[in-house]
């Protein structure tokens, strides 16, 4: 009985902009009672822009800090990296020719990027928990938190020299989709590697009550596993390399169509149009399809 119903459902799914990998995916989506959302690039557009650059007194100036940070971030596919590289290259579609060459580029999932530029070891990364920061940079972190921006620290040879604040906004479809999932009896949960303040702000705007911030890529997978161990049927929605493990450990992984290959590869379903309402439509579709075949 599966083939016909499955073909009908995948066909409808394609119309909705949902790419489904196999018949079991539909079966699993149907029983889902918890949806775990990644924040950046999933609940939000992932099109971040640079909102503020702060440097230390007597240290390298803002232009130098941004230029070297942008050069290293040019190798990153993370929304933060794209925002910083675009700002450093002069705003947007500019060619990277404007940026100095980087050697030894290294990206650490859920943490940041590193490389050698102009004879310095440059890092752009999440604020270190135990780090001593100059006063100007500490206040920049506080300002970013109250503006619900995401702040990253630029380091030259291990020394903090600047703070970059980037901002993002909710996908237009996120808020309604969350409300409809709740109406369908599904609990939304936000999990992010980002800090508490931007996480809480995005969750509040989307209508999500439960928030897990500052979570590593492995922590995201552990959260999904813990929810499943507690008897939940969990769908995870994400876009990043940092979400791949969580997508794979969920009952059902859902990837954003514009997301990384790692996320799409790990997921059972892809939201081709990046429209969050397709998740709700897909849940409704499976509930309908599978009741009809009985
Ligand atoms: P999210 O769960 O919101 O997608 P990530 O797990 O990708 O977040 O990243 C967590 C944190 O790690 C970011 O908020 C940032 O502080 C830092 N980070 C990750 N990638 C980068 C990057 N390319 N440049 C600077 N910081 C980064
Ligand atoms: Mg993400």
The SS3 of residue 51 is strand
CATH superfamily of 2-45+169-293: HAD superfamily/HAD-like (3.40.50.1000)
Q: What is the pLDDT of residue 127?
A: 95
Nearest to 52 by CA among 185, 145, 183: 145
Do residues 271 and 70 touch, judged by C-beta distance below 8 A? no
Is residue 88 within a helix (H) or strand (E), and if so which, with residue range? Answer: helix 79-88
pLDDT of 292 reads 58
CA–CA dist 153, 215 (Å, integer): 18
Number of neighbouring beta carbons within 10 Å of residue 140 = 24
Segment 162-192, tens digit of pLDDT = 999 999 999 999 999 999 999 999 999 999 9
For a pLDDT cut of 90, what percent of the chain falls above it?
A: 76
Q: Which atom of ligand 1 lies nearest, measured to the CA of 81?
A: 23
Condensed to tens digits (0 to 9), the pLDDT of residues 195-252 reads: 999 999 999 999 999 999 999 999 999 999 999 999 999 999 999 999 999 999 999 9
Domains of the chain, by residue range, sit at 2-45+169-293, 49-167
Residue nearest to ligand 1 atom 14, measured at CA:
194
pLDDT for position 14: 81
Task: Tell which CATH classification among 3.30.70.20, 3.40.1110.10, 3.20.20.70, 3.40.50.720 matches the domain 49-167.
Answer: 3.40.1110.10
What is the 126 CA–ligand 1 centroid distance (Å)? 7
Check whether 60 has a pLDDT greater than 80.
Answer: yes
Closest C-alpha residue for ligand 1 atom 20: 112
């Amino acid at each position: 009985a599966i083939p016909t119903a499955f073909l009908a459902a995948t066909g409808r799914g394609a119309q909705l902009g949902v790419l489904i990998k196999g018949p079991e995916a539909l079966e699993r989506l149907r029983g889902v009672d918890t949806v775990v959302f990644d924040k950046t690039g999933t609940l939000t557009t992932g099109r971040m822009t640079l909102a503020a650059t702060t440097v230390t007194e007597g240290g390298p100036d803002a232009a130098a800090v941004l230029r070297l940070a942008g050069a290293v971030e040019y190798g990153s596919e993370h929304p933060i990296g794209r925002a910083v590289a675009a700002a450093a290259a002069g705003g947007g579609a500019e060619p990277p020719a404007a940026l100095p060459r980087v050697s030894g580029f290294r990206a650490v999932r859920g943490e940041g990027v590193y490389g050698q530029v102009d004879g310095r070891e440059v890092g752009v990364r999440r604020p270190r928990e135990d780090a001593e920061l100059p006063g100007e940079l500490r206040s920049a972190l506080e300002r970013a938190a109250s503006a619900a921006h995401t702040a990253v620290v630029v380091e030259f040879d291990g020394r903090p020299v600047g703070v970059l604040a980037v901002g993002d906004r909710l996908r237009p479809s996120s808020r309604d989709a969350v409300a409809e999932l709740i109406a369908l009896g599904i609990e939304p949960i936000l999990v992010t590697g980002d800090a508490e303040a931007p996480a809480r702000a995005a969750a509040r705007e989307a209508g999500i009550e439960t928030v897990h911030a500052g979570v590593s890529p492995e922590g995201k997978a552990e959260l999904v596993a813990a929810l499943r161990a507690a008897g939940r049927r969990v769908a995870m929605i994400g876009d990043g390399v940092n979400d791949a493990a969580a997508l794979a450990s969920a009952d059902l992984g859902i990837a954003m169509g514009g997301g990384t290959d790692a996320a799409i590869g790990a997921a059972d379903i892809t939201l081709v149009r990046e429209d969050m309402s397709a998740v709700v439509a897909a849940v409704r579709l499976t509930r309908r399809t599978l009741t009809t075949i009985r």
